[in-house]
Amino acid sequence: MIDVLSRITDKDELFRLLDAMATGQNRRIDEAEFRDHLDGRVRGQSHVTADAARLIRLQWGKQSRNRPIACLLLLGPTGTGKTELAKALASYLFNDEKAMLRFDGPDLAGAEAKSRLIGLPRGYVGWESGGAITRPVLNNPRRLILFDEVEKAWPGVFDLFLAMMGEGRLTEQGSNKVADFTQSIIVLTSNAEHEAIGRIQDEVEDPDERTDAVKKHLRDSQVFRPEIVGRFDKIYVFRPLDLRAIADVAALKILAVAREYDVEIESVDPALIVEAMRRGNKLKDFGARELERVVGEMFGESLMAARDADVRRVRVAAGPRGELRIEGATARPAAEARRSR
């Protein structure tokens, strides 16, 4: 019998990849590459990205486990990169941000939230659909699961965390099927008590004592129950962004908006970055989402006009009255322009 695989490919490497597929994931992570990926998405929080890259590399490499890969609590003011870190983790570890299940705390504030997550009991209308968290994990357990602003969720939801983060299992009510979270990463974010926790970060130098102080504050302020705090593998505190870090975020948002319009930006006038920051001065209250909206409003019209003119690259300059102007446009070949439509 002809060994076709040996003739056309590296069979040992192929079998290694197949073994990784069978076990659900490749067990090795390049920590330096992983950290670079995180730093490329999350600005001004290198103390978080460095530690998270190391922690997850070690957890990811285990051959067996009886709980999630990692359970993380991200604390800090709005707009400092907590949600962006979750997205960056999902895109690197699971090759797609769509592997992230996201739940917003305010949307889980009612008593029905628990049934929404794990499904209705058998016999209730809609029980066959399963739970919003259990059914996707039953279908694909390789997930990052994000609970944003989790402190705003109904207290009963936290009972689910004890099973999900502790034993790595949740039972769907209607079907009695058990969702396995041992191939998942659980991320909770909160901006509760961020000023007090920020002071702890500044005042306590020893890392272990600092973590202990943060946990005690969360317990004493009743933001989280003690047994929930004990389930986290790591608690990360995000620092407020300085002006240079915010400028960096603004530049990333500008590049992202350009990609959405299928246009490449060669350069941007610094005055326009400063103007985006000025208009997004609500960053402290509304975070990077507000800056993203501002950038879209400032650049969207010109970028769409460039795309419609079959332009491939642009330089964005500020006019004498601060208006945005496209310069140095390069037309793309006609065949390429037709393919992109």
CA distances (Å), origin 161, targets 60, 90, 184: 21, 20, 13
Bin 217: left if φ > 0, else alpha if -120 < ψ < 50, else beta. Answer: alpha
Residues 73 and 216 in one domain: yes
Residues 332 and 203 in one domain: no
Residue 171 lies in a domain: yes
Q: Which residue, 214, 237, 260, sits at the end of a domain?
A: 237
- What the block records as the tokens of 198 is 């920020």
pLDDT tens digits, one per residue of 146-156: 999 999 999 88
Helix (H, G, I), strand (E, B) or coil at 178: strand
CATH number at residue 328: 1.10.8.60
Residues 15 and 113 in one domain: yes
Residue 285 lies in a domain: yes
Alpha carbons 341 and 339: distance in angstroms, whole number = 6
pLDDT for 53 equals 97
pTM for the full predicted model: 0.80
Give the containing element (helix H, strand E) for 237. strand 234-237
Residue 282 clears pLDDT 60, i.e. is over it: no
Q: What is the DSSP string of 30-77?
A: -HHHHHHHHHHHS-S-HHHHHHHHHHHHHHHT-S--SS-SEEEEEES-
Residues 36 and 118 in one domain: yes
**What is the distance of C-alpha 207 from the center of its chain?**
25
Residues 58 and 115 in one domain: yes
Residues 198 and 315 in one domain: no
Q: How many domains, the chain? A: 2
Residues shown for the chain: 341
**What confidence tier does 170 reach under pLDDT thresholds 50, 70, 90?**
very high
Residue 3 lies in a domain: no
Residues 107 and 202 in one domain: yes
Residue 2 lies in a domain: no
Residue 91 lies in a domain: yes
| Domain assignment of residue 266, given as a range | 243-340
**What confidence tier does 79 reach under pLDDT thresholds 50, 70, 90?**
confident
CATH number at residue 185: 3.40.50.300
Residues 141 and 254 in one domain: no
Residues 148 and 288 in one domain: no
Alpha carbons 252 and 247: distance in angstroms, whole number = 9
